[in-house]
Amino acid sequence: MALQWRERRLDFARSSASDLLFMRKNIAAGIDIGTYQVKVVVSESDPEQPEKLPRIIGSGLAESRGLRHGYIVNTRDVTKSVLDAVAQAEKASGFKIKRAFISIGGISLQSIIGTGAIVISRGDSEITQLDIEKATAGAERNVPAASMVNRRIIHTVPLSFKIDGKPIMSRTPIGLKGNKLEARVLFITCLSQHLDDLIDAITDAGIEVLDVVASPIAGALVTLSKNQKVAGCLLANIGAETVSIVVYENNLPISLEVFPIGSTDITNDIALGLKLPIEDAESLKRGSLSNAQVSKKKLDEIIAARLSDIFDLVEAHLKKIDRNGLLPAGIIITGGGSGVATIEDLARAALKLPAKIVLKDSTWSVAYGLTILGIGGDDYADQGMSKPAGAVARKVGSWFKQFLP
C-alpha cells in the first residue's frame, strides 16, 4: 500500500496542470477526519521563497458523522461529512479538490522498533542506498509477527546505523565503507481495517488519497520547533477521547503511542463527583462557569486525579523507552484538554520534566501539517521532517490568524 501511495505521488507530479487541482502553484490539500470534526485545509507555497511557511488559501469544517472513538462505523456518513468540509474549502480557495493527503489517528496507532543487519554488497565495501533499503527491510522482517497481526506500516523511520558494530554519528551511512551495516528502525503502524475504511470514505467522496500520515506526526510539524525535536521532547495532544503522544530526539520521532483516555473523562468525573449536568461540568473544567455552590478544592481534586491518570500512562511509556526524565525540551501539551487549569504544574511534577502549553485550539494543526508535507516534496521522504518543521517553528504563532474573521 505504501508503494502504491508513492507511485500515486509520482503520477501526480507528472500529470498536466490542467488535469490537476494543484502543483501548478505548489498547492496541496490536507484532510483530517476526527471523532467530532472533519477539517480540510488548502495551502499554497511561494516557489521563489520555499523557506516561507505555506499560505492557507482555503479551509473547511464539518461535524463528523459515522465515527465512534475515532473508528469509522458508517462509511457513507463519513463521506458526507468529508464532502461538506471539502465544499467549504473549495469555495474559499477557488480550487476543485481532486487529490489530498489524509491523516489517521485514534487508538489503532502504534509504534514498534526493529533492527536489521546486512553484509555490504559492493566489492569496494562502500555503502549505497540499496544497502540501507536492505537493512531496513531486514528490520521489518525482524519485527515480531504478533505485533503486526491485522496491522499495516504507514511510516518507516530509520533511527540509527552501525557499521561493523560501531555507531555512526551522521544521518546516513551512504558513502562510508564497511563490511556489515546494522539499522535500527521505527515503524508506525495502524489497524488495516481502520486504514481501508478511511481510504474508502475519502475515495467515495471522489478524492484520490495521495498519502496517509499519522496525525501526531502531521501535528508535530506545526507545534514543535526544530530545536525542541533535536534536544528531545514529548508532544502530548489531549483530545476528547484519546491522548496521543510522540517523542522526538535528534530531530526524529522515536516513539508514538495513543491512550484511550481524554478530556471527556475529566468532564464526566466532574459531573459525577459534583452531581452536575454535563454542560456545566464542561464549563467548570474550562474555568468558564463560576458556581458559588461548587467547592473549588473538590473540583481541583477531581481534575487532578484524572490528569494524574493520564500522566501516569505517559510516564510508564517513557520508562518503557528509557526516556523518563531525559527529555531536555520537556513535554509540550496541546489539544482541547490542555485548557485545564494547573495542567502544566501537574505534568511537571508527575514527569519531572519542563512543561508548557501551546496551541490550546489545535483544530487545524493536523490538516495544515498535511499540506506542509504535501508541498514539501523531497522533504517528505525524510521522516525527521527537519526542513518544514524549521519553517513552521518560526511562524507558528501567526498561521492561526488566517482563520480569524
Residue 245 exposure: Cα atoms within 13 Å on the Cβ side: 25
Q: What is the mean pLDDT of residues 181-208?
A: 95
Q: Which residues of 208-226 are buried (b: 16+ CB within 10 A; e: fewer)?
A: ebbbbbbbbbbbbbbbbbb
Q: Which grid coordinates are listed for 357?
A: 502549553
For residues 399 and 287, which has the higher predicted lDDT (pLDDT)?
287
Eight-state DSSP code of residue 62: E
50/162: higher pLDDT = 162
Q: What is the pLDDT of residue 377?
A: 52
Closest CA to 365 of 246, 243, 219, 238: 219
Q: Label residue 339 left, alpha or beta by phi (over 0 means left) and psi (-120 to 50 means alpha).
A: alpha
pLDDT at 11: 42
pLDDT exceeds cutoff 50 at 372:
yes
Residues 360-371 have a mean pLDDT of: 86
Q: Which stretch of 7-16, 145-154, 188-197, 358-367 has the lowest confidence by average pLDDT?
A: 7-16
Residue 308 predicted with pLDDT over 60: yes
The share of the chain scoring above pLDDT 90, in percent, equals 64
Long-range pairs of 383-387 with CB within 8 A, sequence gap ≥ 24 = 383/155, 383/156, 383/157, 383/158, 383/217, 383/252, 383/253, 384/157, 384/171, 384/229, 384/250, 384/251, 384/252, 384/253, 385/217, 385/220, 385/221, 386/226, 386/229, 386/251
CA angle, corner 150, sides to 144 and 154, nearest 5?
80
pLDDT digits (tens, 9 = 90+) for 241-292: 889 999 999 999 999 999 999 888 999 999 999 999 998 888 888 777 666 5
Helix pair 215-223, 386-395: axis angle to 10 deg = 50
- At 254 the pLDDT is 97
Q: Which of helix, strand or coil describes residue 98?
A: coil
Which residue shows C-alpha cell 500515486? 8
> What average pLDDT does the structure give for the chain?
85
* pLDDT value of residue 375: 87
pLDDT at residue 387 is higher than 50: no
Single-letter amino acid, residue 130: L
pLDDT in tens, 14-45: 333 333 344 445 899 999 998 888 999 999 98
pLDDT of residue 25: 56
Average of per-residue pLDDT across 293-307: 87
Alpha-carbon span 37 to 159, nearest angstrom = 34
pTM: 0.85
Helix (H, G, I), strand (E, B) or coil at 225: coil
Taken in order of first residue, the domains within the chain and their CATH numbers are 2-106+193-214 (3.30.420.40), 110-191 (3.30.1490.110), 223-357 (3.30.420.40)
User: Are the CB atoms for 210 and 100 separated by under 8 Å?
Assistant: yes
For 41-81, what is each residue's pLDDT tens digit? 999 988 777 778 889 999 999 999 988 777 888 999 999 99
Query: 198-240: per-residue pLDDT in tens?
Result: 999 999 999 999 999 999 999 999 999 999 999 999 999 998 8
Highest averaged pLDDT of the listed ranges 3-7, 97-101, 378-382: 97-101
